[in-house]
Chains A and B, each alone.
Chain A
Amino acid sequence: MATARLHLMLCGGTGCQASGSREFHAALEEEIKKQGLKDEIKVVETGCNGFCALGPVMLVQPEGIFYQQLKPEHAPLLVEEHFLKGRPVEKLLYVEPASKETIPIMTDIPFFAHQKFWVMKNKGAIDPESIDEYIARDGYFGMAKALTEMRPEEIIQEVRDSGLRGRGGAGFPAGLKWQFASKAESDIKYVLCNADEGDPGAFMDRSILEADPHAVLEGMIIAAKAINASQGYIYCRTEYPLAIERLNLAIKKAREYGLLGEDILGTGFNFDIDIYQGAGAFVCGEETALMRSIEGKRGMPRPRPPFPANKGLFDRPSVLNNVETLANVGQIILNGAEWYASVGTESSKGTKVFALSGDINNIGLVEVPMGITLRKMIYDIGGGIPKKRKFKAVQLGGPSGGCVPEQYLDTAVDYEEIARVGAIMGSGGVIIMDEKTCMVDMARFFMDFIQDESCGKCVPCREGTRRLLEILNKICGGKGEPGDIEDLEELSAVIKESSLCGLGQTAPNPVLSTLRYFKDEYIAHVYEKRCPAKKCAALLEFRVDPDKCKKCGMCYKVCPVGAISWQKKEPAYIDQSKCIQCLSCYEACRFGAID
């Protein structure tokens, strides 16, 4: 086999594709061909690299040089200067936002340097469409060990000893779940993978599926052996077409290689996997609802017990694990429970993948050891808050989670510690909010999401969240009255207590956590008719301060309804009767003259 001098690992994840990696790829291939370097340089389209905000990104191996924000017109320059003459192209390298220092080597970039790649060890390192490359990085070795050397009880014990907890959010010990299902008596059992990642602001499962689909299959096969299941389903969001495409290919290849299907590795063990596409319902991330959905019904949850481990899909014992949980399993079996448990805190072992987004410099996916502090994640890895603005809160755990203010930034990231400050680990969405975010508006946003996604089966969730949203809309719309805050508190308590499933039981969390830390903002909205973050348009009146106005006319240019009059050398004026409070002028003014 010919070996290339350079491997160009070009990110082909969804984020980078959307910012043009396919177009760059074509230009690069053409330039390489033109220069006669086809045998020397190999371009590999990888899964998501994680550093999504800078896409398209590319890693040059073996040198480890990292390029960002690549455009088709950069291809000739890269080939000529770097790949032929050996001089890395300075202007395409990473520049640290704070120090303005150029950092050529990927592993030196702080965003990568503080991470620990276990679940994401293959991201950006292999071609996700090649089973051989997965195997070359110890892929399917854990599965081979489980199938040929271990009894089901031993597999379960190993996973229990590792301390692996469900990465979907609730953190239930994975091995214990398997143990329940293994003890259930039935000739048919199922292993299910929950790839219905629905939390807004979370995209780690998508990334794992796109970058390393075989790791998920491997985990499922091991789980199947542990509970003696013969059929598996991956329930994947239909919004993730690339993930579905790569999973389909991975399943096909695994079957061809005898790693899936009948008589796996000649051990006599049979297990096969099908993909089931979701149809857009957040509640289908809840396990009983997900199973109803695969059965072809409306995806509504049902009361537990009976638990799915005894009576799940088609009333058979079933184990449902999240993508990230399953992607850990192969390595735990291969390297042992002790290896896995050596990282993390007392109660939370291993690593966790987080999706950093919002008002932060380095947006992307990060995998960190459990126990790292929020501050380290946000400032050392995330690079802090852009535009010299102040940090306000970090929202953890999606709609069921909570907002954590500055004074708790030294909290260690583990299931219990995060719960103590009023949020949850959830699936790992971490959204940073700066001073321009209105916390009442955020609570309203999440409540809008939840009441939209409530399946409607139980009254507290269906009617209660609707009422919460009404009150929040009223407050943000400038019509808040005394008693509203107390109503929010009382309703939240009732919904939490009386809802049927996890969605309803956690639905009031956005309200409760913002009330806990940012009650003064609620008070300002209700009693002073003021939005301190200047976000709730109904509470704002846009006026130009003639003393501060620099007469530049920016506001005039951006106003979509012609409410602003302006002439050269004259301060602008806003006609209140025409203003639609769209915030455009307020955002555009660089001198703070509009208030």
Chain B
Amino acid sequence: MARLEHPDITSDMTTRIDEVINTHRETAGAVIPVLRESQDIVGYLPVELIDYISSGLNLPKSEVLGVATFYSLFSLTPKGRHIIRVCMGTACYVKGGKEIMNRIRQNYGLEEGDTSEDRRFSLEAVRCLGACGLAPVMVIGQDTHGGVTPDRVINILEEYE
């Protein structure tokens, strides 16, 4: 079996990843849950980890990488401490989601999909969080903020160190 060596992955993480692989090894279609749970452990999916998962599940590397790059949930690059998800569903867009995105972009010099150099923030646009009553909506980590305005957004973000 391949060895897992990467500066962002501790031996404790490796143990947990092994558990994830072992739990799912026998089930058909295991690769997506394994990638998701491994990403939850490490925070993202470095290429070394993808190699490790493919040998663990006995699948071609190309197949596992193909899955990891297809779905928007998976990230091959490190994320910031706080992930800002601005909803760009129709209701949020109609009510000013784009203006919020622009304000964050201008203020922190972040483009969609970027992580700031100090790894404080990652900025993502998401497709409808299903909370249209609160439009426009933004999620930071696990916190949902509804009725966000371009003027308020920076104040909210400054709460996150």
User: How big is the A interface, by class?
Assistant: 35 or more
Q: How near does chain B come to A384, taking the closest CB pair, in angstroms?
A: 16
Do A18 and B29 touch across chains, with their CB atoms under 8 A apart?
Answer: no
Given known pairs A297-B67, A357-B91, A583-B99, the reply for A199 and B128 (CB within 8 Å) is yes
Interface residue? B131 (CB, 8 A): yes
Chain A minimum-CB-distance residue to B89: A200
Inside 8 A of A240's CB, which chain B residues have their CB? Answer: 130
Question: Which parts of A342-369 form the interface with B (CB within 8 Å)?
Answer: 355, 357-359, 363-364
Do B91 and A298 touch across chains, with their CB atoms under 8 A apart?
Answer: no
Q: How far is the CA of A294 from the CA of B29 in the complex (A)?
A: 6
Inside 8 A of A278's CB, which chain B residues have their CB? Answer: 71
Task: Flag A1-25 by CB within 8 Å of B: 1 or 0 each.
Answer: 0000000000000110111000000
Question: Which parts of A174-200 form the interface with B (CB within 8 Å)?
Answer: 197-200
Inside 8 A of B102's CB, which chain A residues have their CB? Answer: 582
Q: How far is the CA of A135 from the CA of B110 in the complex (A)?
A: 51
Q: How near does chain A come to B21, taking the closest CB pair, in angstroms?
A: 13
Interface residue? A77 (CB, 8 A): no
Inside 8 A of B89's CB, which chain A residues have their CB? Answer: 200-201
Given known pairs A449-B127, A582-B99, the reply for A295 and B28 (CB within 8 Å) is yes
Do B32 and A357 touch across chains, with their CB atoms under 8 A apart?
Answer: no
Interface residue? B126 (CB, 8 A): yes
Q: How near does chain B come to A342, taking the closest CB pair, in angstroms?
A: 31
Among B91, B127, B134, B150, point to the contact of A282 (Cβ < 8 A).
Answer: B127
Chain B minimum-CB-distance residue to A401: B90
Given known pairs A238-B73, A279-B36, A279-B72, the reply for A395 and B90 (CB within 8 Å) is yes
Interface residue? B46 (CB, 8 A): no
Interface residue? B58 (CB, 8 A): no
Task: Flag B68-105 by CB within 8 Å of A: 1 or 0 each.
Answer: 00111110000000000000111101110001001100
Chain B minimum-CB-distance residue to A292: B29
Do A203 and B131 touch across chains, with their CB atoms under 8 A apart?
Answer: yes
Do A200 and B67 touch across chains, with their CB atoms under 8 A apart?
Answer: no
Do B91 and A358 touch across chains, with their CB atoms under 8 A apart?
Answer: yes
Question: Which parts of A56-113 form the interface with B (CB within 8 Å)?
Answer: none
User: Interface with B: A222-230, A405-413, A429-437, which one?
Assistant: A429-437
Do A560 and B28 touch across chains, with their CB atoms under 8 A apart?
Answer: no
Chain B minimum-CB-distance residue to A453: B127
Given known pairs A202-B128, A279-B74, the reply for A298 and B66 (CB within 8 Å) is yes
Q: How far is the CA of A18 from the CA of B137 in the complex (A)?
A: 10
Tally of A-B residue pairs with Cβ under 8 A? 147
Inside 8 A of A52's CB, which chain B residues have their CB? Answer: 131-134
Inside 8 A of B30's CB, which chain A residues have their CB? Answer: 296
Q: How far is the CA of A497 from the CA of B68 in the complex (A)?
A: 31
Given known pairs A18-B144, A355-B132, A584-B151, the reply for A201 and B91 (CB within 8 Å) is yes
17 A-B residue pairs with CB within 8 Å: A15-B131, A18-B131, A201-B128, A202-B128, A203-B132, A239-B126, A281-B71, A296-B30, A296-B32, A298-B70, A299-B71, A314-B28, A357-B91, A395-B90, A446-B90, A453-B127, A560-B107
Q: How near does chain B come to A190, taking the closest CB pair, in angstroms?
A: 12
Inside 8 A of B17's CB, which chain A residues have their CB? Answer: none
Instruction: Given contacts A277-B33, A431-B90, A433-B94, list 5 more A-B pairs with CB under 8 A.
Output: A15-B134, A240-B130, A281-B72, A298-B66, A358-B95
Q: How far is the CA of A314 from the CA of B27 in the complex (A)?
A: 12
- What 3 A-B pairs are tightest by C-beta distance, nearest first? A52-B133, A200-B89, A296-B29
Do A15 and B73 touch across chains, with their CB atoms under 8 A apart?
Answer: no
Chain B minimum-CB-distance residue to A210: B130
Do A445 and B70 touch across chains, with their CB atoms under 8 A apart?
Answer: no
Chain A minimum-CB-distance residue to B74: A279
Inside 8 A of B74's CB, which chain A residues have their CB? Answer: 279
Inside 8 A of A429's CB, which chain B residues have their CB? Answer: 90
Chain A minimum-CB-distance residue to B131: A15
Among B72, B132, B146, point to the contact of A201 (Cβ < 8 A).
Answer: B132
Among A51, A281, A296, A445, point to the contact of B90 (Cβ < 8 A).
Answer: A445
Do B90 and A201 touch across chains, with their CB atoms under 8 A apart?
Answer: yes
Q: How far is the CA of A373 from the CA of B135 in the complex (A)?
A: 25
Interface residues in B, total, Cβ within 8 A: 44
Among A239, A277, A279, A449, point to the contact of B129 (Cβ < 8 A).
Answer: A239
Q: How far is the CA of A198 from the CA of B128 in the complex (A)?
A: 7
Inside 8 A of A445's CB, which chain B residues have their CB? Answer: 90, 93
Inside 8 A of A437's CB, which chain B residues have their CB? Answer: 94
Question: Which parts of A389-434 form the interface with B (CB within 8 Å)?
Answer: 395, 398, 429, 431, 433
Among B35, B71, B135, B150, point to the contact of A584 (Cβ < 8 A).
Answer: B150
Given known pairs A239-B130, A357-B133, the reply for A280 and B90 (CB within 8 Å) is no
Inside 8 A of B70's CB, which chain A residues have their CB? Answer: 281, 298-299, 455
Inside 8 A of A446's CB, which chain B residues have their CB? Answer: 90
Do B94 and A279 touch across chains, with their CB atoms under 8 A apart?
Answer: no
Chain B minimum-CB-distance residue to A281: B71
Chain A minimum-CB-distance residue to B34: A296
Do B73 and A279 touch across chains, with their CB atoms under 8 A apart?
Answer: yes
Inside 8 A of A314's CB, which chain B residues have their CB? Answer: 28
Interface residue? B106 (CB, 8 A): yes
Among A277, A299, A359, A582, point to the contact of B36 (Cβ < 8 A).
Answer: A277
Q: How far is the CA of A579 from the CA of B150 in the complex (A)?
A: 16
Inside 8 A of B123's CB, which chain A residues have their CB? Answer: none
**Most chain B Cβ neighbours within 10 Å, of A200, A359, A433:** A200
Q: How far is the CA of A561 from the CA of B35 in the complex (A)?
A: 42
Q: How near does chain A come to B111, taking the closest CB pair, in angstroms?
A: 15
Q: How far is the CA of A53 from the CA of B71 in the complex (A)?
A: 31
Task: Flag B18-40 by CB within 8 Å of A: 1 or 0 each.
Answer: 00000000001111110110000
Q: How far is the CA of A445 from the CA of B95 in the complex (A)?
A: 13
Interface residue? A293 (CB, 8 A): yes
Do A279 and B133 touch across chains, with their CB atoms under 8 A apart?
Answer: no
Question: Which parts of A543-558 form the interface with B (CB within 8 Å)?
Answer: 558
Q: How far is the CA of A14 from the CA of B129 in the complex (A)?
A: 10
Q: How far is the CA of A77 from the CA of B128 in the complex (A)?
A: 36
Q: How far is the CA of A199 from the CA of B132 in the complex (A)?
A: 12
Interface residue? A170 (CB, 8 A): no
Among B29, B99, B133, point to the contact of A276 (Cβ < 8 A).
Answer: B29
Interface residue? A55 (CB, 8 A): yes
Q: How far is the CA of A592 from the CA of B73 in the complex (A)?
A: 43
Do B146 and A582 touch across chains, with their CB atoms under 8 A apart?
Answer: no
Interface residue? A206 (CB, 8 A): yes
Q: How far is the CA of A431 from the CA of B94 in the complex (A)?
A: 9
Do A14 and B128 touch across chains, with their CB atoms under 8 A apart?
Answer: no
Q: How near does chain A come to B20, taking the closest CB pair, in angstroms?
A: 14
Q: How far is the CA of A295 from the CA of B27 in the complex (A)?
A: 10
Inside 8 A of B28's CB, which chain A residues have their CB? Answer: 295-296, 314
Chain B minimum-CB-distance residue to A445: B93
Inside 8 A of A494's CB, which chain B residues have their CB? Answer: none
Interface residue? A580 (CB, 8 A): yes
